[in-house]
Amino acid sequence: MSSPLISIITCTKNSGRFLADNIASVSAQTHRDFEHVFVDGGSTDSTLTLISRYRRKFPRLVKLFSSPPRGISAAMNVGLVKSRGRFLIYLHSDDALAGPDVLSDTAAFISRHPRLDWFYGQIQVIEADGKPVGVFPRQWLLRQAYPRLLKFINFIPHQAVFIKRQVLADFGGFDATLSSQMDLDLWLRLADCSRWQFFPHVISRFRIHPSAQSSGISRFAQNQANFRRVIRRHTAWEYPVSVLIENIFSRLNPVLR
């Protein structure tokens, strides 16, 4: 069996509240050269029932793997190992693709830009009830592939990134010791030694709610600490400026940091 063009990787653990929206958005795609890979960390709610029902309907597209809960980065790395697609996108269980033609538009973009290692688009930020908040990144400057700018602000939402599976594997996947900002760490490792650019499309709907890993207010301090840890790893003189800018940005846009 040939490998699909795209693997959509969704990590779950007691994700039943929003998972149906995720599944509906993927199953509605007009482009069908994909697989949907789930990595579950021991769900005890309706999550596995929803995935099992989905898998029965689309047995060739849906894969389910169980993995001990060792954090989101570790689960994302399991998805890397278990997937077969040429390009990967990580679509968390509380997020969804923005429309039925996302993968079709993405496949056309890949065909036009075969040398790219990865590319990023935009996310539509929504509240728990689906109410729109805004699009990110919307500023012109943040829609440019500027490696140096990444040292000051993470303008690349991983829910809108498509990356070659082999490239991600070659760079060692995500740092499993990070509970957040693992995407920024990866972008900074990739930025100067890979081919990448902006893809002018809204790729996914990113849901903000109190229990979310990246947008939950209760995890603000942890996310800030992880940001400083990552930036210290990849910067020299830029470090204090980076921390200052992040502090300002995260308070102006607390759900988009």
Which CATH number belongs to the domain containing residue 43 in this structure? 3.90.550.10
Residue 176 to residue 239: CA distance in whole angstroms: 23
Interacting residues of 236 by C-beta distance below 8 A, sequence separation 6+: none
For residue 251, tell me if it sits in a domain: no
- Reported as type and span, the H/E element at residue 244 is helix 239-252
For residue 216, tell me if it sits in a domain: no
pLDDT tens digits in sequence order for the chain, 257 residues long: 689 999 999 999 999 999 999 999 999 999 999 999 999 999 999 999 999 999 999 999 999 999 998 999 999 999 999 999 999 999 999 999 999 999 999 999 999 999 999 999 999 999 999 999 999 999 888 888 889 899 988 999 999 999 999 999 999 999 999 999 999 999 999 999 999 999 999 999 999 977 655 544 556 788 889 999 999 999 888 888 888 887 777 666 655 54
- For the chain, helix, strand, coil in percent to 5 are 40, 20, 40
For residue 58, tell me if it sits in a domain: yes
* Domain with 42 in it: 6-209
For residue 254, tell me if it sits in a domain: no
pLDDT for position 141? 86
Residue 16 to residue 49: CA distance in whole angstroms: 9
pLDDT for position 150? 92
Residue 68 · residue 42 · CB < 8 Å: yes
For residue 82, tell me if it sits in a domain: yes
pLDDT for position 221? 86
Residue 85 · residue 5 · CB < 8 Å: yes
For residue 246, tell me if it sits in a domain: no
pLDDT for position 257? 43
How many Å is the maximal CA-CA distance in the chain?
54
For residue 249, tell me if it sits in a domain: no
Q: What is the pTM of this model?
A: 0.92
Count the domains in the chain: 1
Interacting residues of 67 by C-beta distance below 8 A, sequence separation 6+: 39, 40, 41, 74, 75, 78
